[in-house]
Amino acid sequence: MKTLIALVITILGSYFSNKINNLLLSRLVVVCALIGIGFLISNPVLGSLLTLILLFSRVIYTQVRKDIVEDLKMYLFNKAILKSQTYLMLLFTGGIILGFVLPAVKNYKISISIVIFVFVMLIYLVEYSNWKSFEDKINRAREISDHIESLKHAFELMIPFKEINADEIVKNRLELWKNVHQNKTNT
């Protein structure tokens, strides 16, 4: 029963983490969900799995937003950060280690909660610095082109050594955005 509740907390934490637009508040939701999961589970492997699901949920799924430029900006940022090997290694290694530590929250409430908070804030710091770098690249590119072209250019700059087709990615996301908003107006 406790495992089922921990799974529900993971799903709700992922949902609210994606719904909140503010990156810091989103990460605080993840901290609360991880601490809650730690009180419910005793299997460290399950803790690692649920931790990885929570940590990756914000960058794997990008909900469709109301504004096309903001939607495209967040989607391209998430695609770019998923191609960053440094970020992925931080999430995988830290998430597994943190997952193995989660069951100890029952016995060492304050110290393990502080460790969880510090680790998630470290991830927040890395994401925030990447976000600011992405925004700077967009602003520099916006001086010479429109919004969507500047987003494509910034996306290509975020992934320097890989062959990507930004035009196709942007075209597919724009079609998805149009379909979602067309379905909302039809219903």
| Per-residue pLDDT band at 187 (split at 50, 70, 90) | low
Neighbours of 100 (CB within 10 A): 15
Q: 150 and 172 in contact (C-beta within 8 Å)? A: no
The token pair at 17 is: 């983490």
| Nearest Cα residue to 138 out of 125, 155, 123 | 155
What is the torsional sign of CA 107, 108, 113, 119? negative
Interval 80-126: pLDDT, tens:
998 888 889 999 998 999 989 988 888 888 998 999 999 999 999 99
pLDDT for position 166: 84
Report the alpha-carbon distance of residue 77 to residue 154 in Å, rounded. 9
Interval 75-86: pLDDT, tens:
999 999 988 888
Interval 19-65: pLDDT, tens:
888 888 999 999 999 999 989 998 899 999 999 999 988 888 888 88
Interval 141-183: pLDDT, tens:
888 878 888 888 888 888 887 788 888 888 888 898 888 888 8
| Per-residue pLDDT band at 133 (split at 50, 70, 90) | very high
Amino acid 99 reads: G
Residue 100 dihedral angles phi and psi, to the nearest 5°: -70, -25
